[in-house]
């Protein structure tokens, strides 16, 4: 018997679903299990029905893409004003952003029109009581996020879902300003004005971070890489990270050196030495060596279309397989190399010394106080994608010599040789054949051999053995003393330029320090895979903002004279407050001269409403009354609306 035809839109029709004393708004899906062959009915909850059938969406609904929300069919007697208003708002912002992008050329893609920027950073007006909350540091970081294009990128990744973007920005800013974990975030919101209007309790944060997927990470990384200028330099490195989650896939393999009860994971980061910000991150199991991570990192970055970029690696990544991976994809790189291997040793042997012991065929760099020389590596083979061996072109080796270190290392070598001879005499005067075998294991520049006829003696004297000095080892160590090297592929920079670029990797070490200390993320707190993905994404946003603050502070002579650290700079902005009144009016306290100077150094415009009379006069080059036609008291008495202040 043939039944009723199935409604093709049944899975999108909202209906009431009473459950455990609550009335939920749900969709019903019917199907057949592939394992058992039995039919099933499954309800999916998208919110609750309040009094008068008012639909209150839950977090699952809020995190849905715009196209997915449009598919739902609601009963006519339901009040869905919350859904329709949010959809109209999202569509309006999306249209404004697309229009702004069309007006902006590709060379200035980071710039935002004033109208578009205000829409992205606006906090909706809500019914409020008298409130006086801290706001300056949050406002400051929001302006940096807009200037870097982070806000625009987040809106594009989360399809202009303002609530989700504001939650992410709040969670990213919180640990940077407080150095506390997320358990204190809701309390912090009580005395601090934040982009998010939700109370970010631990349970809410857990649920919210589980809705951030790995596709969001990839899409955001792609947008950040598109903002990198051509011919930029990025550094690739890893750091260990504690993890207490028992169910994390990467945390089952390696114990931490300082705490055996917790496992280690590997956090790989690609950091831009050109824009001074992280552009990529990924987690690996704790037992994965650095040289084993390049293939995955390379594949990810090629997938998001990274190009015209030179990678910087340390010597832990040096291997034949890694070279083949990089050569196959023609990825430019600068890599620190070990001087004990070929062909580096051959190049060092080609160095000639004059009568004073100085290298005659190397160039001396006054700034670094090093001797430098660039050699072309000939007949270097690699295995291509088809498995055939090919010769590498445009592959060079940079040799560096520190004469001070060379003298110290040669002197240390002589001291070690002398100490080994003294140790041999002391041991042989007391020991036997067993002592000789044990001693040989600990000698680096000598070897002890038994003379013929002395094998059966219980006690061995110095006359029964032959002490051989390892001449080749000593000669090699003397030759390599004070030298270090790097290899460079598909890049035209000189040896001195390569050294300066490589030294810039120190910024990445500061980044790792920020991750573990300043951002209070020394331990991976996520206990599930989906929660870990979301928390790492939020951490990445926070570190992107903190890196921008630290980089600008470090490169500004004025800021470094005024503030000992970037944190002192943030503290200077903190006292600015956001005042809210029962009639809905809002007001932001005035910026002091020092706070105005900070904004100038960062290229951030302070709203005129928040400038004092002297600062406003200095800013505009004329008196306040000349500009506005109002008296000083009338001007300072104006209210600052949310839309005006947050921009």
HSE (side-chain half, CA atoms, 13 Å) at 454: 15
pLDDT: which is higher, 340 or 633:
340
What's the pLDDT at 643? Answer: 31
| Average pLDDT of the chain, as a whole number | 81
What's the pLDDT at 630? Answer: 42
Backbone angles phi, psi at 167, to 5 degrees: -65, -45
Model pLDDT for residues 569-628, shown as the tens digit of each residue: 999 999 999 998 888 888 899 998 899 999 999 999 988 888 876 666 666 654 434 444
Residues forming a β-bridge with 523: 242
SS3 state at 368: coil
Q: Report CA-CA distances (Å) from 189 to 145, 170, 198, 227, 386.
A: 19, 9, 9, 32, 58
What are the extents of the domains in the chain?
10-79, 232-397+488-525, 406-480, 569-645
Model pLDDT for residues 360-415, shown as the tens digit of each residue: 999 999 988 999 999 999 888 888 877 788 888 889 999 999 999 999 999 999 99
Work out the percent of the chain whose per-residue pLDDT is above 70: 79
Query: Which residues have C-beta within 8 Å of that of residue 286, sequence separation ≥ 6?
Result: 240, 250, 251, 253, 254, 255, 263, 264, 265, 266
Lowest mean pLDDT: which of 9-23, 99-113, 256-270, 589-603?
A: 99-113
What's the pLDDT at 578? Answer: 92
Q: C-alpha angle with apex 26: 21 to 29, nearest 5 degrees? A: 125
pLDDT, average across residues 84-99: 61
pLDDT: which is higher, 525 or 588:
588
Nearest Cα neighbor of 77 from 27, 19, 25, 30 is 25
What's the pLDDT at 405? Answer: 93
DSSP for residue 54: B
Ranges assigned E (strand) in 127-257? 131-134, 232-243
Q: Is residue 139 within 8 Å of 607, Cβ to Cβ? A: no
SS3 state at 311: strand
What's the pLDDT at 97? Answer: 59
Lowest mean pLDDT: which of 116-130, 242-256, 335-349, 493-507?
A: 116-130
Distance CA(448)–CA(469), nearest Å, equals 9
Lowest mean pLDDT: which of 31-40, 301-310, 609-618?
A: 609-618
Backbone angles phi, psi at 626, to 5 degrees: -65, -35
Beta carbons within 10 angstroms of residue 566's beta carbon: 21
């Amino acid at each position: 018997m043939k039944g009723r035809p199935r409604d093709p839109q049944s899975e999108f029709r909202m209906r009431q679903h009473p459950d455990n004393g609550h009335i939920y708004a749900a969709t019903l899906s019917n199907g057949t299990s592939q394992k058992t062959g039995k039919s099933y009915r499954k309800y999916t909850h998208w919110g609750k029905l309040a009094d008068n059938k008012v639909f209150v969406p839950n977090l699952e609904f809020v995190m849905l893409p715009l196209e997915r929300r449009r598919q739902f069919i609601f009963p006519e007697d339901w009040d869905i004003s919350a859904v329709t208003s949010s959809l109209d708002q999202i569509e309006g912002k999306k249209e404004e952003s697309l229009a702004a992008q069309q007006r902006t050329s590709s060379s200035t893609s980071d710039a935002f029109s004033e109208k578009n920027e205000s829409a992205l950073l606006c906090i909706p007006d809500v019914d409020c009581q008298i409130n006086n909350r801290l706001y300056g540091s949050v406002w400051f970081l929001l302006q940096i996020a807009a200037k870097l294009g982070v806000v625009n990128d987040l809106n594009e990744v989360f399809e202009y879902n303002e609530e989700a973007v504001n939650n992410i920005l709040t969670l990213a800013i919180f640990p940077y300003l407080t150095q506390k974990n997320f358990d204190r975030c809701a309390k912090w919101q009580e005395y601090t004005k934040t982009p998010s209007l939700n109370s970010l309790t631990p349970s809410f944060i857990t649920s919210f971070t589980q809705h951030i997927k790995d596709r969001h990470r990839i899409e955001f990384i792609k947008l950040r890489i598109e903002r990198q200028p051509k011919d930029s330099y990025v550094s690739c490195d890893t750091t260990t990270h504690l993890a207490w989650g028992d169910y994390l896939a990467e945390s089952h393999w390696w114990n931490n050196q300082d705490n055996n009860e917790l496992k280690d994971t590997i956090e790989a980061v690609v950091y831009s030495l050109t824009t001074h910000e992280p552009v990529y991150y990924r987690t690996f199991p704790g037992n994965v060596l650095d040289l084993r991570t390049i293939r995955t990192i390379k594949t990810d970055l090629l997938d998001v279309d990274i190009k015209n970029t030179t990678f910087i690696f340390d010597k832990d990544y040096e291997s034949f397989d890694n070279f083949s991976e990089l050569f196959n994809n023609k990825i430019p790189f600068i890599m620190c190399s070990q001087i004990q291997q070929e062909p580096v040793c051959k190049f060092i042997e080609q160095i000639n010394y004059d009568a004073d012991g100085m290298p005659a065929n190397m160039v001396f760099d006054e700034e670094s106080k090093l001797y430098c020389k660039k050699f072309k590596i000939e007949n270097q083979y690699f295995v291509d994608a088809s498995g055939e061996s090919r010769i590498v072109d445009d592959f060079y080796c940079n040799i560096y010599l520190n004469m001070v270190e060379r003298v110290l290392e040669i002197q240390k070598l002589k001291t070690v040789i002398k100490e080994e001879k003294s140790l041999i005499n002391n041991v042989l005067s007391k020991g036997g054949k067993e002592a000789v075998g044990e001693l040989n294991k600990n000698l680096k520049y000598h070897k002890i051999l038994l003379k013929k006829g002395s094998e059966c003696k219980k006690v061995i004297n110095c006359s029964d053995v032959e002490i051989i000095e390892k001449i080749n080892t000593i000669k090699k160590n003397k030759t390599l003393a004070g030298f270090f090297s790097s290899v460079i592929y598909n890049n035209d920079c000189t040896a001195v330029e390569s050294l300066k670029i490589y030294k810039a990797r120190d910024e990445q070490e500061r980044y790792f320090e920020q991750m573990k200390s300043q951002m209070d993320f020394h331990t991976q707190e996520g206990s599930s895979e989906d929660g870990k993905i979301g928390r790492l994404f939020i951490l990445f946003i926070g570190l992107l903002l903190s890196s921008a603050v630290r980089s600008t502070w470090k490169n500004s002579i004025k800021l470094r004279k005024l503030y000992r650290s970037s944190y002192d700079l943030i503290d200077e902005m903190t006292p600015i407050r956001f005042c809210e009144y029962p009639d809905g009016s809002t007001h932001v306290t005035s910026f002091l001269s020092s706070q105005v100077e900070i904004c100038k150094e960062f290229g951030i415009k302070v709203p005129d409403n928040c400038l004092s009379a002297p600062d406003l006069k200095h800013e505009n080059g004329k008196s306040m009354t000349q500009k506005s036609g109002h008296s000083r008291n009338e001007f300072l008495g104006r209210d600052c609306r949310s839309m005006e202040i947050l921009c």
